[in-house]
Amino acid sequence: MIADTSHPVPFPAGQDDVDPDIRRFQQAIEGGYAAHAGGPEKTVAERRRVAERVRAPWRAGGPVMARTEALRAGGTGIGVRIHRPSLEPGLPVLIYIHGGGWVLFSLDTHDRLMREYAARSKAVVVGVDYTRSPEAKFPQAIDEIVAVVEWLRADGDSLGLDPARIAVAGDSVGANMSVAVNLRLRQRGVGVLAAMLLNYGAFDHRETPSHARYGGPAYMLNSAEMVAFWAAYLRGPDDYADPLAVPLRAHLTGLPPAFLCIAQCDILADENRQMAGRLRAAGVPVEEHVYPGATHSFLEAVSISPLADRALTEASDWLAQRLGAAR
């Protein structure tokens, strides 16, 4: 299924192309960062602390879980946060991989999103606290998430989960790694996951027309930020050609069905459309939704945005259908 897939068209001078509620979210985020501006270049640790403070109001509220627990995945030491929408045994699982350019954000910044997916899809959401860059370089984070998949497949029954019904989701670089995890599983011959939910993913480092169109200060992400994020994540020039790092370059045959949530007013819009087309050409079932007026990160605005609410509902309905979850 394809919805709202027309390419962006020029807007009349002076007309804002961003949804009004998403504009309020974008301005609040920008204002929060501006309040912490000044001084010399911040360290990575300082940037993370600021990001946590700025994002804090947007993770508040939302669905209440039947139980939330923090565990270590088997013997790996990888932290996970498990949100259970009910205590019913044998529920399907959604592994969630948070965005933030491989460098910023955390399970805390994305806690509300994970709870929203759990409540709406009736799946247990397992957020992965992967090691961020630049401390961890490609492909460490991918292999950590694969280790969580292996743990859930081996021990899911003992956790009251269904190890045969596991999907993966992520936003921005989390969407990148959602595809990469399935590529790694396919590479190892152990079977891909049941579904992929890909929110405004970073699938290629090359600039496209949407970078020029939506890379200005009126939007949520710019090309210079993405260049810095890629450089922090990758080990060196050779990694820019590695399909595991740059999924748009990968052979995509045999990957699981995918739902792509594409923000129209996002520098990554073009590569998301390309990924949808590449998956479809590879024979992968694809549902592609382009949300007019949405910026990068718009799902975080669900507390004030009917557009984000609709996008979360549409993705969750698709996910529940793919996982066979009771609604």
Confirm whether 161 is domain-assigned. yes
> At 292, which CATH number?
3.40.50.1820
Predicted pLDDT at 75 = 83
Our count of domains for the chain comes to: 1
Confirm whether 256 is domain-assigned. yes
Predicted pLDDT at 14 = 60
Confirm whether 56 is domain-assigned. no
Confirm whether 95 is domain-assigned. yes
- Does the global pTM surpass 0.75? yes
Confirm whether 233 is domain-assigned. yes
Domain of residue 292, residue span: 18-33+68-323
Confirm whether 42 is domain-assigned. no
Successive 10-residue mean pLDDT values, the chain, 327 residues: 41 76 97 80 91 97 98 93 97 98 98 98 98 98 98 97 98 98 97 98 97 95 97 98 98 98 98 98 98 98 98 98 76
309 catalytic? Reply is no
266 catalytic? Reply is yes
86 catalytic? Reply is no
How far apart are the C-alpha atoms of 109 and 52, rounded to whole Å? 6
Confirm whether 47 is domain-assigned. no
Nearest to residue 322, comparing CAs of 185, 194, 146?
194
Predicted pLDDT at 192 = 98
Predicted pLDDT at 49 = 96
Strands across the sheet containing 286-295: 2-3, 286-295, 258-265, 196-199, 161-171, 91-97, 124-129, 79-84, 67-72
List the catalytic residue out of 19, 111, 129, 266.
266
Contacts 24+ apart (CB under 8 A), 108-111: 108/52, 108/59, 109/51, 109/52, 109/55, 109/59, 110/59, 110/171, 111/59, 111/81
How far apart are the C-alpha atoms of 308 and 200, rounded to whole Å? 13
Predicted pLDDT at 2 = 45
H/E stretch holding 163 reads strand 161-171
List the catalytic residue out of 172, 210, 297, 305.
172
Query: Could you tell me whether strands 196-199 and 258-265 are parallel, antiparallel, or unpaired per DSSP bridges?
Result: parallel
Confirm whether 282 is domain-assigned. yes
Predicted pLDDT at 101 = 98
List the catalytic residue out of 106, 171, 296, 297.
296
Predicted pLDDT at 38 = 61
